[in-house]
Amino acid sequence: MRQRKGAIRLMECYSLRGKREGHLEDRFICSICGEEHAGLVTDWAYTLPDEVWAIPEAERADKARFNNDLCQFNDRNFIRCVLEVPFTEDAGYFGWGAWAEVDWPTFERYLELYDVDGNSEPTHIGTLANELPAYPGSIGTPVVIQFREPTKRPSLYVNPENQEKIAFEQHNGINDARYHEILGIIGQR
């Protein structure tokens, strides 16, 4: 099975926010390529679902099957996705590379569509399998999953009627102050 872009436990950086007039230019070292980039981190990702990550490393490969996009642990199935939170003052979004726990038929369907365009596929349901530090209590949040083209991970959507901050911000966006708050929470400021 082909694997998409490499993963690490905490961060991936595929997109950057650039310098804006009147703002200092920020720089960071990319955890994927190891090079310095201008801008601020706009993606934060998890290598595994939290429950699987909690298994001691020496035992993890014996207890779970996983790669960068798929994970199975006991009779549970997980798909790595992206939950986008749009910026309100700039173009783009902050992307949470999180895992969703799904039922077997959804997992199986994702495997069938892995190398083809899944944009026209009906949405599927799941639950968030990572605790996003900017959204305490987010693990277990119900999500809707939309498969996409084979070069992109599926999208995660939180029901806009959900009363949690994660739902509000995904549907209404975040301003620069909140973006910088999130960077502080994840240790990037």
Looking at the chain, the number of H-run helices and the number of E-run strands are 5, 14
| Structural domain contains residue 3 | no
Choose among 154, 153, 158: nearest CA to 128. 158
| Structural domain contains residue 1 | no
Domain count, the chain: 1
In this prediction the pTM is 0.81
Residue in the structure block whose two tokens are 């790669």: 67
46-91 pLDDT tens trace = 999 999 999 999 999 999 999 999 999 999 999 999 999 999 998 9
- Give the domain extent around 67: 16-185
Reported confidence tier of residue 24, pLDDT bands at 50, 70, 90: very low
Could you tell me if residue 135 is left (phi over 0), alpha (psi between -120 and 50 degrees) or otherwise beta? beta
Choose among 188, 107, 187, 89: nearest CA to 154. 107
| Structural domain contains residue 104 | yes
Q: Is-contact 112 35, C-beta < 8 A?
A: no
| Structural domain contains residue 101 | yes
| Structural domain contains residue 2 | no
| Structural domain contains residue 78 | yes
